[in-house]
Structure 1
Amino acid sequence: MAKKRSIGGFKSNRKNKSLDVQQSLISIIVDIHNTPILRQSATQKLLALNRKHRLEMPKYIGVMICKKCQILYNSKNSSTRIKHGQIIKTCHVCQDVRRLGGGPKHHRG
């Protein structure tokens, strides 16, 4: 005999649990009193969780992580410059350059 499927609740329950885990990992990453190894491990777990459950990465966490090598930015492995109103972050591990913001608007009258 075939087993009856439970109706509703499973996907929403799974999503709520994954959002709770995401928030706990974010709190570990943001807390500067944690060791760098723990923060980097939490970053890797957060990226894997977001990929698995298709969760959106919060913007304030996304700018803290290198998109290419997935390492957590700090003052030793990255440099941040502001040039013409644009934030330029350079990762010293993979030499990736990210430009945040629009930059100058010369085309606007």
Structure 2
Amino acid sequence: MWTRHHKSRFYGRLIVPAITVCFMSYFIYHSIHGDYGLIAGERFAAHKALNERKLEKLVAEREAREKHVKMLSDGSLMKDALDEHARYALNLLKPDEIVIFERHLQ
């Protein structure tokens, strides 16, 4: 009986590790550069910090406006002061008036 013996080839041993390396490099690349990877996470964190600063600015502006409206509507101002604020905000005046605006520091 004749048997045929094959020499063990060196390349046959590298097929499974080569496929494994390809799969691992694919997943490692996408875990760093993908849509949900590390770099995207850093961009998201920077964008979140920017939006939080914008939110703080808008909240402070809203609170200042609410305080201003509360001061105008609580009855503590006289009618002339309320009229002055309305004219300044709406840029209105009567035909016989001269308006001189002063810059108020806030």
Decide: shared fold, TM above 0.5: no
Give the helix-richer structure, 1 or 2: 2
> Which is higher, the Rg of structure 1 or of structure 2?
2
With the length of structure 2 as denominator, give the TM-score of the two structures. 0.31
Using the size of structure 1 for normalisation, the TM-score is: 0.31
* Relative contact order, higher structure (CA 8 A, sep 6+): 1
